[in-house]
Chains A and B, each alone.
Chain A
Amino acid sequence: MSDRQLKTPFPERAHAALGDAHLQEALTIATTKFIDLRKEAFADFPAGEALRDRARAIKEATLQGLDKHLERLADNIERLGGHVHWAATGDEARDIILRLCRDKGVRMAVKSKSMATEEIELNEALEAAGVKPIETDLGEYIIQLAHEKPSHIIAPAIHKTKGQVAELFSKELGGRFAADPEVLTAVARKELRQKFLEADMGITGANFAVAETGTIVLVTNEGNGRMVTSLPRIHVAVMGMEKVIPTMTDLMVFLAILARSATGQKLSSYTTLVRGPRQPGETEGPEELHLILMDNGRTRQIAGTLREALYCLRCGACLNVCPVYRQIGGHAYGYTYPGPIGILLTAMLKGTGSVKDLAHASSLCGACKDVCPVRIDIPRMLVELREHIDSEKIAPWGERVVFGLARRAMSSPGLWRLGAKLGRIAQRPFVRSGRLRGLPLLFGKWTRTRDLPPVAARTFSERWKELERP
């Protein structure tokens, strides 16, 4: 999202989202569907809970020896004839790809869906360098046509209704297309077919990379990933360093829970295993394979407070169940990764200061932790982020004063009683039939939409004396 938009404070971005009827319709339909599908998938899968525990344990253990696993992965990929590039930052990752494009005379690149390339804003950089990026995942294709960013980790165009997509296609591609998903998919398919054949480079992310075999794994549903990795002469995969897993057996554990968590499928329609570039004697596949292993703030969290966020499989389940995400969608968050996990990933990539508002964009209801395939304790980490924001004094001074006063009152029964008495006096003008309305200041934020019970004529503490004698 552009900096211009980020200058709008988060509450205003949320306000705009709440007022967008199309967005509200699209979000309700899609998230409800995802929630139901996930629930059914795990209800039919008794081994699921134990596999989730195992997946979490694999992630924990892999992070302990991340350097060792990454080296093994790199060795195996190089042995197969691939190239491995180490990128400490997003800028470095982007520069590696741009250099490759320059050196290899790349004019057009087809892409399969990848959050890692969104993270480094690769499309903008490619365009600026004269390389035409073409998104080939249907959702990504839609938002590329609309000049937007993904609003969900696995369903980038979740914020659009089919009517809006039909309008967009009609305008951008010339024609009159019905708001029928089958028609619209056929249109995109026809447009994209030629691009696969023309492109010099295929760019993907990676859901996993298996160290013991040097296999890059892509989990997709449309088959575009398979074409991106096999038709162009060069394949570049961009992967966060935390995505390496030790063995093929581990991969089976993750595959069993990933699609179930994301879309409720037992497996996604396509699981693409890429092992090296075209080998001598083979007739298909890219001539060159490049894997970019990107750090960009990740490894310093191995021992940091955001450690568990490194377990994330990018399934998007926590977005679907989050009451806040379901109301405001992904764009209002303002960064590449939306939703509860997105707040943590943004803090990881951009620093705590960047999430001083977003850290509070959660009621801490815990639904995210409940559905996370690797049981990331997102609410706890959000509270820890808030703690950091408080101790670094990033929080507004007014807020710090209010909480300081609250602590004093909570620490002193005398002050507590005095507070109750003052409250009773102060609330008098605002009592309407036993309820408080139209309160000023901070309280007004409550009473604009909700009544508040008044401070009781006698608090429980005050009534205890008579209760004591039954």
Chain B
Amino acid sequence: MKASIMITCLGDLLFPDVGVAMVRLLRRLGVTVDFPQGQTCCGMPLFNSGYHHDAALVAARTVRLFEGAEHVVVPSGSCAWMVKEEYPGLLKDDPALKAQALALAKKTYELSQFLVGVLGVTSIDSSFKGRVTYHDSCHLLRGLGESQSPRALLRGVKGCEVLDLPGSDECCGFGGSFSVRLPEVSSAILDKKLANVESTGADCLVACDAGCLMQMGGGLSRRGSRVRAVHLAQILEPEAGA
């Protein structure tokens, strides 16, 4: 089995440890991993802000980069959703590109969905000592319809106690440019989320989206919380440096 990593902009620049954990994890599961060179961003920030012409240029580039991939694995649900749900529409004016986009959409997976849905993994031989709680990222939950795979994987980790997060399906307030266009509203939404997180007594807050982790992690460290925001891959592959 072969998989190409789509690292995403935040994964590349801000959370490279997540990418490293993901590579080690996939290799441990027998996957041959490669990393197509020249990756930047999926273009979702442009798309969500309405710059669709610009987003289409970025989408066309990304589609070509991953043309030869067998599977594409993404550490963020929102970027996977962008590729799967929006690329074909963005590239609809060029039939050849659209066909490529549809092919890419079909073989692109968010990490937990790849592990459970494609590799058929139900439990990973990992250990993590601590209590964790899981936040459902909006695009993974409502966009890609996924709430079970990450939880199942967490429950399979030795020593890891999974606690329910009240309002786990409520937005963390990130929303891409929303977080800086309306910082006060974004932060007020975040405050509610973090109060719920702290009420669980967890040591770690787990999510499958770098955007949410940036928002929630940034809020947690600002309020001096002892809770750490980590990516699912960092629990499943803790050696990689969480």
A interface residues (Cβ-Cβ under 8 A, vs B):
11, 14-15, 18, 323-324, 327-328, 359-367, 369-370, 383, 385-391, 395, 399, 403-404, 406-407, 409-413, 416, 420, 423, 435, 437, 442-443, 445-446, 448-456, 458-464, 467-468, 470
Interface hits, B164-208 → A, CB 8 Å: 169-171, 173-190
User: Cβ of A450 and Cβ of B49 under 8 Å apart?
Assistant: no
Shortest distance in angstroms between B95's beta carbon and chain A's nearest beta carbon? 22
- Assuming the contacts A367-B170, A369-B142, A467-B20, asked whether A452 and B218 have C-beta atoms less than 8 A apart, the reply is yes
CB distance from A188 to the nearest CB of B (A): 33
Known: A445-B183, A450-B218. A390 touches B188 (CB 8 A): no
The closest CB in chain B to the CB of A357 belongs to B181
Q: Beyond A366-B139, A451-B218, A455-B14, is A327–B185 a contact (Cβ under 8 Å)?
A: yes
A residues less than 8 Å from B12 (CB atoms): 420, 459-461
Cross-chain contact A362 with B175 (CB below 8 angstroms): yes
Q: Give the chain A neighbours of B13 by CB distance below 8 A.
A: 420, 423, 455-456, 459
- B16 and A459: CB pair below 8 A? yes
Beyond A450-B187, A463-B16, whether A410 also contacts B43 by CB under 8 A is: yes
Q: How far is the CA of A73 from the CA of B209 in the complex (A)?
A: 51
Chain-A contact segment, one of B31-39, B109-117, B122-130 = B31-39
From B20, B39, B143, B181, A463 is in contact (CB under 8 Å) with B20
Shortest distance between the CB of A396 and any CB in chain B (Å):
11
Measured between beta carbons, the chain B residues less than 8 angstroms from A365 are 138, 142, 170-171, 175
Q: Which of B6-51 contact A (CB under 8 A)?
A: 7, 9, 11-16, 19-20, 23, 27, 35, 37-41, 43, 45-51
Q: Does B57 contact A (CB under 8 A)?
A: yes
- Please measure, in the bound complex, the distance between the C-alpha atom of A447 and the C-alpha atom of B161, giving whole angstroms: 32
Q: Determine if B50 and A388 form an interchain contact, defined as CB atoms under 8 angstroms apart.
A: yes
- B69 in the interface (beta carbon within 8 A): no
Chain A residues contacting B49 (CB-CB under 8 Å) are 360, 386, 390, 399, 403
Given A413-B37, A442-B180; A323-B50 close (CB under 8 Å): no
For the complex, give the distance between the alpha carbons of A367 and B167 in Å: 12
Give the distance in Å from the alpha carbon of A460 to the alpha carbon of B51 in the complex. Answer: 27
Q: How far is the CA of A316 from the CA of B184 in the complex (A)?
A: 24
Q: Which 4 A-B pairs have the closest CB atoms?
A: A363-B175, A386-B50, A450-B218, A365-B171
Tell me the bound Cα distance from A455 to B214 in angstroms.
Answer: 12
Within the assembled complex, what's the spacing in Å between the Cα atoms of A409 and B54?
11
Please tell me if the beta carbons of B214 and A453 are within 8 angstroms of each other in the complex: yes
Contact of A407 (CB < 8 Å), options: B11, B54, B174: B54
Q: Which chain A residues lie closer than 8 Å to B50 at the CB level?
A: 359, 383, 385-391, 395
| Minimum Cβ distance to chain A for residue B93 (Å) | 15
Closest to A437 in B: B222
How many positions in chain B have a CB within 8 Å of any CB in the partner chain? 65
Q: How far is the CA of A464 from the CA of B39 in the complex (A)?
A: 12
In the bound assembly, the distance between CA atoms of A324 and B177 in angstroms comes to: 14
Which chain A residue has the least Cβ–Cβ distance from B22? Answer: A460
Complex formed: what's the CA distance from A324 to B45 in Å? Answer: 19
Q: For B43, list chain A residues within 8 Å (CB).
A: 410
Residue of A nearest to B220 (CB): A451
Task: Determine how close the nearest CB of chain B comes to the CB of A402; give it in whole angstroms.
Answer: 9
Across the interface, B178 reaches (CB within 8 A) one of A327, A363, A390, namely: A363
- For chain B, residues 60 to 110, give those with C-beta under 8 angstroms from any C-beta of chain A: 61
User: Is A450 a contact of B222 with CB atoms below 8 Å?
Assistant: yes
Q: Is the CB of B185 within 8 A of A324?
A: yes
* B184: contacting residue among A11, A360, A387, A399, CB under 8 A: A11
A360-B16 in contact given A367-B171, A406-B46, A410-B58 (Cβ < 8 Å):
no
Asked if B156 is an interface residue, CB under 8 A from chain A, the answer is no
With A18-B184, A407-B57, A467-B20 in contact, is A370–B51 under 8 Å at CB?
Answer: no
With A11-B182, A364-B176, A459-B12 given, can you name 9 additional A-B contacts, CB distance below 8 Å? A323-B189, A360-B181, A366-B138, A403-B49, A411-B61, A416-B40, A451-B221, A460-B20, A462-B16
A-B contact pairs, 26 of them (CB 8 A): A324-B182, A327-B188, A328-B185, A363-B179, A365-B138, A365-B171, A367-B138, A367-B170, A383-B47, A387-B52, A399-B49, A403-B54, A407-B51, A410-B41, A413-B37, A413-B40, A449-B184, A450-B187, A450-B190, A450-B219, A453-B214, A456-B14, A458-B16, A460-B12, A461-B35, A463-B20
Residues of chain B lying within 8 A (CB to CB) of residue A435? 218, 221
A11-B217 Cα distance, complex, nearest whole Å: 24
Given A390-B50, A410-B58, A450-B219, A370-B178 contact (CB < 8 Å): no
Instruction: Confirm or deny: B215 has a beta carbon within 8 angstroms of a beta carbon on chain A.
Output: yes
Asked whether B11 lies within 8 Å of A460 as measured between CB atoms, the reply is: yes
Assuming A328-B185, A410-B40, A410-B58, is B178 touching A362 (CB within 8 A)?
Answer: yes
Residue pair B14, A453 in contact (C-beta under 8 Å): yes
Q: When chains A and B are docked, how far (Å) is the Cα of A462 from the Cα of B45?
A: 23
Q: How far is the CA of A424 from the CA of B131 in the complex (A)?
A: 34
Which single residue of chain A is at the shortest CB-CB distance from B43?
A410
- List the B residue with the shortest CB-CB distance to A419: B13
